[in-house]
Amino acid sequence: MKFGVIVFPGSNCDDDTVGVIQSLGHEAIKLWHKDTDLQGCDFLIVPGGFSYGDYLRSGAIARFSPIMEHVIEFAKNGGYLMGICNGFQVLVEAHLLPGVLLRNNSQKFISKNIFLKAATNNALLTQELDLNKAYKVPIAHAEGRYFADEATLASLQANDQILFYYCDEAGQVTDAANPNGSLLNIAGICNEGRNVFGLMPHPERAADPDLNNTDGLEIMKQLVLQLV
């Protein structure tokens, strides 16, 4: 598997993402946002950060970078694509995933560990995750409040497109465990075709035994299992 991690001006999780993929024994290269050649990558990841300084809205400018036309075509042809945090925001802005990410209800940038649980095993990103486990993973965002209209939420539920919920340490999906006011505690989703994924928490930042937390590695590992 060859992974391509797309770098915009202001991305800051590209190295972490490349490093985790390499630690899993797969090739990972960086693709600059002005590139127009995806270099034969099988899986694209849009990493976290502050693309274009979050001007206008997080992800709103990156969505128009030259590479995005090719990323959109890649995804429309069924290619695997994942956005983490700012990457999720970029994919929503590009209309590759439904809904929007609004400013946190606290109006503050939040950087802390949270717990999340997988809602389904019916997606490449969650295929072998333990549905009863609360995974401890950091968040670091100002615009992470997932919002969609009622019809979109209903179709996400009907199509099993909600992949992760914010929960407490015991795995309960409660209001108190919702760090940013996301509707239904949604932390991650996929598209209808189940080849495009977006999540606000940062699994790539919890993937190194030296950091005392490898819950994120369990999530990143799903990308290379290829069982679905």
Ligand X SMILES: NC(=O)CC[C@H](N)C(=O)O
Alpha helices per DSSP H over the chain? 14-23, 66-76, 86-93, 150-158, 215-221
User: Side chain identity at 137, as an amino acid letter?
Assistant: V
Q: Is 71 in the site for ligand X (CB under 6 A)?
A: no
167 is catalytic: no
Q: Which of 93, 143, 204, 218 is catalytic?
A: 204
**Residue 188 structure tokens:** 């991650």
Q: Is 188 in the site for ligand X (CB under 6 A)?
A: no
Q: Which of 85, 141, 143, 167 is catalytic?
A: 85
Q: What are the Cα distances from residue 76, in Å, to 80, 156, 202, 205?
A: 10, 19, 25, 29
CB of 141 to ligand X, least distance (A): 3
26 is catalytic: no
Residue nearer to ligand X on the CB measure, 204 or 215: 204
204 is catalytic: yes
Name which of residues 85 to 144 contact ligand X (CB under 6 A): 85-86, 109, 140-144
Residue nearer to ligand X on the CB measure, 49 or 198: 49
Residue nearer to ligand X on the CB measure, 53 or 193: 53
CB of 104 to ligand X, least distance (A): 8
CA atoms within 13 A on the CB side of 20: 26
CB of 178 to ligand X, least distance (A): 16
Pairing of strands 27-32, 2-7: parallel
Beta-bridged to residue 147, according to DSSP, are 100
**Residue 107 structure tokens:** 């109006």
Q: Is 54 in the site for ligand X (CB under 6 A)?
A: yes
**Cα 46 from Cα 91, distance rounded (Å):** 8
Residues taking part in catalysis: 85, 202, 204
- Note the residues at the interface with ligand X (CB under 6 A): 48-50, 54, 58, 85-86, 109, 140-144
